[in-house]
Structure 1
């Protein structure tokens, strides 16, 4: 991981009289052998994102959610927050917001600290993507289960049989028609709803 995209919403992070004492993320990263591109708005983020290995958000924590949607839907790469006196002025409630931040960088970090922070952020990003994928699969399974349970209830009620027998009928129908069980169940539920209205 060598190429990093730094995102800040405006060029001036502090007053001109304070600029000398500010450690900018691009300065720290470039001094430690990393390449840094800078985006100062949401317009050029997508084009610069294609060349980056990770994103460093030099923003107050409450502004991260504005860009998070763009970043997570454009490309899944590690997102790190630049934690400096100018980005930490938020309230504690802002820190409790749900965000996809994979790590934190600070102005006082040395080369080894940066290396390990970026390494762990990459690892956390992969885990976050896996959790998201597993969650989607579980939600899909629950949705399928809902249709199957409704179809079993309809069949059991109409045929005056147990739900276990209704499940066997569903399973046999799916096998005979070479369809997924949930597709057969959905068709039964929708047909029943149509007949009821």
Structure 2
């Protein structure tokens, strides 16, 4: 790993030997302004902050850049309830040796990539649902205006999209919007 950004806020300093051994550069920041300088280079952000400040710092970092985010927890601060409601990619402990830290950092990056893929897939599915709504509305409009069946309306939309070299959802949205403008 090339670069880690360690955000330390309101926590007693701990030995960073294991963390330093797992990167070429360890940037340290105590506030958002300092973090902003280094977050562009960081492959991972490690938050060494009290648990009640985690959500705020996660939002701050996510506003700067989407990057794997792990929490460096002191062994005495382990929460009893595992469902914290945070979107952490992993948890590190100061007592971890270098190998354990390396595995945890790698796992955190993997979790982040998986979460990123899921978000992209979700976005694509939401777009498909939205496109499907426009297509269904446009088919209803065409059935009403042209007096044709749904399958004929769909064929009409598909052919129109090919002729205009546009997506069928875009053609459908245009038809529905014009219909609403005229009949609205």
CA contact 1:57–1:79 (8 Å) conserved in 2: yes
Q: Structure 1: where are the runs of 5+ without partners?
A: 15-22
**Distance across 1 between alignment mates of 2:120 and 2:8:** 29
Displacement of 1:109 after TM fit? 0.7
Note the aligned Cα RMSD (angstroms).
Answer: 2.4
For 1:3, the equivalent position in structure 2 comes to 3
For 1:19, the equivalent position in structure 2 comes to none
From 31, 44, 47, the counterpart of 1:41: 31
For 2:163, the equivalent position in structure 1 comes to 176
For 2:85, the equivalent position in structure 1 comes to 97
Matches of residues 108-119 of structure 1 in structure 2 within 5 Å? Answer: 108-119=95-106
For 1:24, the equivalent position in structure 2 comes to 14
Partner deviation per Cα, 1:23-76 (whole Å, 9 max, x = no partner): 62635423x454432211112212111232211111233422223234234333
Deviating beyond 6 angstroms after TM superposition, the runs of 4 or more aligned structure 1 residues are none
Q: Give the secondary-structure state (helix, strand or coil) at the position aligned to 1:43.
A: helix
Q: Could you tell which deviates more after superposition, 185-194 or 121-130?
A: 121-130
CA contact 1:7–1:40 (8 Å) conserved in 2: yes
**Quick check: 1:160 aligned with 2:150?**
no
**Distance across 2 between alignment mates of 1:58 and 1:86:** 13
**Distance across 2 between alignment mates of 1:98 and 1:66:** 10
Give the number of aligned pairs: 183
Question: Given the two structures, how large is their TM-score scaled by the length of structure 2?
Answer: 0.85
Q: Are the structure 2 counterparts of residues 85 and 108 from structure 1 closer, same or farther at C-alpha, using a change threshold of 3 Å?
A: closer
**Distance across 2 between alignment mates of 1:142 and 1:25:** 50
Displacement of 1:5 after TM fit? 1.1
Matches of residues 119-138 of structure 1 in structure 2 within 5 Å? Answer: 119-138=106-125
Q: Give the secondary-structure state (helix, strand or coil) at the position aligned to 1:68.
A: helix
Q: Are the structure 2 counterparts of residues 190 and 2 from structure 1 closer, same or farther at C-alpha, using a change threshold of 3 Å?
A: same
Q: Are the structure 2 counterparts of residues 33 and 117 from structure 1 closer, same or farther at C-alpha, using a change threshold of 3 Å?
A: closer
Question: Given the two structures, how large is their TM-score scaled by the length of structure 1?
Answer: 0.80
CA contact 2:75–2:93 (8 Å) conserved in 1: no
**Distance across 1 between alignment mates of 2:2 and 2:164:** 54
